Structure 1
Amino acid sequence: MRGALSWPFLRLYLLTLLYFSANSILNVIIPLKVESLGATNTTIGIIMGAYLFTTMLFRPWAGQMIHKHGPIKVLRTILVINGFALIFYAFSGLGGYFAARMLQGVCTAFFSMALQLGIIDALPDKERSQGISMYSLCASMPGIIGPLLAIGMWQTGDMNVFTLAMVGIAILTGVVGYSAKMDKKEIDPISGQAGQSGAMLQSFGQLVKNPHLFKCSVLMLSASLVFGAATTFVPLFAAQIESGNAAIYLMLQAGTVVISRFVLRKKIPSDGRWHSAYIMSVMLILAVASQCVSYSVTGGAMYFYVGACLMGIAQALLYPTLTTYLTFVLPQLNRNVLIGLFIAMADLGVSLGGVIMGPVADQFSYSFMYRICAILSALMMLFAYDRRKIFVETR
């Protein structure tokens, strides 16, 4: 496998696009459906948050299993389970949505870890950021058209269309996934590491002990909380904004993510250095985005859509930057597990965006909730600052 844009990698990116296409529809359909059943924002937040909260819990284990068995074996198994989860959505009620979200969360933990660790291990150092960025880009691309399709399905009032969509995506993802390959010479499960499970448990302490992992995890957790609040509640908040449309917002955000990740993929640092000004700028963009969304209830749809574009830029840049940085500074011996913990913090943040911000929206308002997100993002600008230009890697 040569180069981040070679055919074997393009096939993996296509698989990523297909896998996450279901979620782009579910992120809109589920809040609307659950609200129609009389649920509160708190309940909606819990159901939506169950997906990535479960993903977070299984990330470290997924990293260890991939480390032991290799990405392809894990990938093919998990695609079958994911197919059952998607079909289960189509025939579920309120309680069934919660169970299906958890099952899909398990699948996503293994799927994303298998692809990301496979890409990281297969690419040379100078192309890691491009590979991670392309993976993230394809994970975001379904968000451009998915929300519009979801709104169309909802407005027809015929959930049979939704059922057919879930079944079709499950089958197509499985077919493409089983034909995907990774170069075994370059992506070989590490053997002979006795006591890997114990090492995995010990790695949880590295979230605090390792300064690189701690800084990146706190930043990703905070930013993901904002992303999660937007994803979960924008379909409901848009109704309060004059000329506001949830599908347009989500399409703009996803489209900006896709364009930014492709156009700026070579600008993302891939040198193992901590670029304070770069990270602080990204957090500033996120703070302004949240404030625009908050103010849109008064200022109008223009602020709503500007906020979507700015949030897309922040989302496009932050995750690949922090992930690439960690691939350089984390110890090789347990790098897979530690990266799994970092990604788990991103999952936890998105989950908390629904679970924590749901009660805030119930108690106050959606506008107030997004203002809190803006303040949190601004505080993270200070946290991102570091006078050191490079962290010394110790292995």
Structure 2
Amino acid sequence: MNPYNTLRSLAPDQRHSLLILFVTGLLYWIGMTILLPTLPLYVEHLGGSKQQIGLVMGSFAIGLIFSRTWLGEMADHRGRKIIVIIGTVVAAIAPFGYILSNSILPLIAVRAFNGISVAAFTTGYNALVTDLAPAKQRGEIIGYMNLVAPLGMAIGPALGGILLGRVGYVWLFVLTAIAGFLTFILAIQVQENPNIVLSSGQPKDQNSPSRSFWQLLSSRSLLVPSLIFLLMGMMFGVLVTFLPLFKREMAGLFYSVAAIASFSARFFVGQASDRYGRGLFITLSLISYTLSMILLCVGDSSQLFVVAAILEGSGGGILIPMLLALISDRSLSSQRGRVFAVSVSGFDVGIAISGPLLGFLNWEYRPMFALAASFAALALLLFMSQSSKNLTHSLRFALGQEPDRYAVEEHS
């Protein structure tokens, strides 16, 4: 089934909300990723050292970590839409903080505040998409709807480099704020699935037990995906913090090529995972990530750099929607906001740890990417050995030889 036929098979209100969400997400990620290659240069422009650049970029995760859990709770009890709106409002405000900041400490505070935007938007967006998607098409629709991130990343970093050269930092931040305001206008038009959240604000599955943060995290079915998110966050923290400094003239190219590869992977993998399971595709994505970081560590040619970008984009294009689909399969709709918040918070912690830590260690760039490769390899080993009830089941699930034994019955 192609995307057009998939959309046509949905109810009109579902289709309308998903289309608005898609446009909202695309514009949101364009605005966010404009800053990927430009913000480290802005910190350096203000006189920041390598360590300070790591602190500023890593502080983004502070806002993510301290806001994602309560935002997840709010998503389950107040609805997903309000969380998306919070994310867009912060995205519209935060860029003005960068304009007003002329030293490192204020930049750290603004960057942490900016992190709340991503925590809110991704939690609300992914929960909304999952609520609106029929269970039998969940992987496919999550895959299509998560195309917004690679598409935004294909446009945003390249656009950021062009704007920086033509209008400078101030107007770059102003245009980013305008993008955030436009996403707010779009987000308020989205309609939630009334079968998930009632008008009283209480989850429909009132008879299902409510689990705390630590109860969710201690569940093996969610702990392993959370640890994989953690390791991938540590890898991504290295990439987003130090790649623009390691390959100044080629960072925009890397992000654009990676985004195209991510788009291509997500376009095909979602539907296939509904048929063949999530495990095989998660394994392939972690292999791609590992090889990408190895190439960044040892490669010298522009050709290998492009290959590394393709592998990194393919890995992200497969891993993120597959992990989201996996934790959706393993959770009840009434707890999905909290489940997403708990699991994806591992990614936030990873970003918070890796950038500042490696900045303080002051390593050369190639050893940093060697360490990033080890994070991806460890995630692969963890998934292949611990993703199911025992080693044998884990290995079979990771190779696509058996279904997910932690999946729960979902009430559509």
Bin of the TM-score, shorter chain as denominator length:
0.7 to 0.9
Distance of aligned partners of 1:152 and 1:324 in 2 relative to their CA distance in 1, 3 Å threshold: same
Shift of 1:333: 5.3
1:391 aligns with 2:405: yes
Letter in 2 for 1:184: P
Q: 2:370 matched to which residue of 1?
A: 371
Counterpart of 1:181 in 2: which secondary structure? coil
Q: 2:319 matched to which residue of 1?
A: 318
Distance of aligned partners of 1:81 and 1:342 in 2 relative to their CA distance in 1, 3 Å threshold: same
Q: Is the 8 A contact 1:122 1:186 kept in 2?
A: no
Shift of 1:23: 1.5
Give the 4+ runs in structure 1 shifted more than 4 A. Answer: 191-194, 392-395
Over residues 318-364 of structure 1, what are the superposed CA-to-partner deviations in whole Å (9 max), with x where a residue is unaligned? Answer: 1211221121223555343122100111222233332233234x1x2
Q: Is the 8 A contact 1:56 1:344 kept in 2?
A: yes
1:177 paired residue among 175, 187, 190: 187
1:14 paired residue among 12, 23, 31: 23
Shift of 1:131: 2.8
Q: Comparing 316-325 with 219-228, which one deviates more in the overlay?
A: 219-228
Which stretches in structure 1 are left out of the alignment for 5+ residues? Answer: none
Q: 1:260 matched to which residue of 2?
A: 265
Q: 1:190 matched to which residue of 2?
A: 202
Q: 1:212 matched to which residue of 2?
A: 221
The percentage of aligned residue pairs carrying the same residue is 21
Over residues 32-81 of structure 1, what are the superposed CA-to-partner deviations in whole Å (9 max), with x where a residue is unaligned? Answer: 01112232222112211222332132112111111111122343344334
Q: Is the 8 A contact 1:120 1:132 kept in 2?
A: yes
Distance of aligned partners of 1:278 and 1:166 in 2 relative to their CA distance in 1, 3 Å threshold: closer
Question: Separation in 2 of the partners of 1:262 and 1:394?
Answer: 26
1:122 aligns with 2:121: no
Shift of 1:308: 0.8
Question: Separation in 2 of the partners of 1:157 and 1:335?
Answer: 42
Question: Separation in 2 of the partners of 1:68 and 1:33?
Answer: 39
1:144 paired residue among 128, 143, 154: 154
The 5 Å alignment of 1:1-395 reads: 3=10, 6-94=15-103, 95-156=105-166, 158-188=168-198, 189-191=201-203, 202-207=212-217, 209-239=218-248, 245-269=250-274, 275=279, 277-296=280-299, 299-331=300-332, 334-360=335-361, 362=362, 364-386=363-385, 387-388=392-393, 389=402, 390-393=404-407
Letter in 2 for 1:140: P
Instruction: Give aligned pairs, total.
Output: 381
Distance of aligned partners of 1:280 and 1:180 in 2 relative to their CA distance in 1, 3 Å threshold: closer
Question: Separation in 2 of the partners of 1:250 and 1:73?
Answer: 30
TM-score when normalising by structure 1 = 0.87
Question: Separation in 1 of the partners of 2:185 and 2:55?
Answer: 32
Shift of 1:186: 4.8
Counterpart of 2:153 in 1: which secondary structure? helix
Question: Separation in 2 of the partners of 1:392 and 1:172?
Answer: 40
Q: Is the 8 A contact 1:118 1:187 kept in 2?
A: no
TM-score when normalising by structure 2 = 0.84
Question: Separation in 1 of the partners of 2:319 and 2:24?
Answer: 23
RMSD: 2.7
Letter in 1 for 2:286: M
